[in-house]
Amino acid sequence: MIGIISAMQEEIQALLNELQHTKTTEKGMRTYYSGTLFNKNVVLVFSRWGKVASAATTTQLINDFNVDEIIFTGVAGAINNNLNIGDVVIGKHLFQHDLNASPFYKQFEIPILKKKFVETKDATKLIEATNQFIRTYNDFIDLKDSKDFDITIPKVMHGDIASGDQFISSIDKIKHLNFLLPTTICVEMEGASVAQICFEYDIPFSIIRIISDKANDNATIDFSRFANSIASNYALGILKNYFA
């Protein structure tokens, strides 16, 4: 069983549309959709925004659905100049950029675990699945939607991700993150907490982030539309290849 999580239902709506033999389970104000997707047994859930919500959802998913692997998918803001809207980041190391338990621990270090970051599983297969999706991009993404969001030639990058309970929307905050965590290339609100829960339960974890904005003062994109028409269909195409 593979668990698939997103922060918003719009980010996995295309997957829900393809889910077969669907069964729903209501727990903790969440709806878990189990069934088959591209001949794989899966359970889909949207966690809501933030580290607490995503950690609670992940824990429930592991304890109640006997998952062998968890994949998080959704949007993120770029904090690296090489990333553009529509690009894909496959996460490598997940940092909590708002975690600071000093002087007892170093900044960003997870108490007790004594880790500054949590590493995802080997990403070779997921990166190839993403590159394959990009080669067949027009089979999944409407041309008008691409033009509206100024997506030209999307690419995939394998890199570090910073998570925190705040929406990053200023150049000053980006510069601060670039200074504190120079290897991170995008920022979001859930990935590192999901990674930590998966580490503690010894569950392989992967994360797919689609760049929706540059996380700067101009981050005024229609997130709901982007998530539904772009990110959701990216997830569909990528996971179709990954499950093959």
Active site amino acids: 11, 213
Residues contacting 117, CB < 8 A, separation 6+: 93, 94, 95, 108, 160, 192
Tell me which residue has tokens 């338990």.
Answer: 101
Residue 62 CA to residue 69 CA, distance in Å, equals 9
Strand partners, 71: 4, 206
Residue 75 CA to residue 210 CA, distance in Å, equals 5
Q: How many residues does the chain have?
A: 244
**Start-to-end C-alpha separation, the chain:** 15
Q: Are 75 and 211 in contact (CB under 8 A)?
A: yes
Of 160, 192, 157, nearest in space to 178 by CA: 160
Burial of 206 (0-12, 13-18, 19+ CB in 10 A): buried
Residue 153 CA to its chain's centroid (Å): 21
**Neighbour tally for 244: CB within 10 Å:** 11
Q: Report the chain's C-alpha Rg in angstroms.
A: 17
For residue 131, the number of C-alpha atoms closer than 13 Å in the C-beta half-sphere is 8
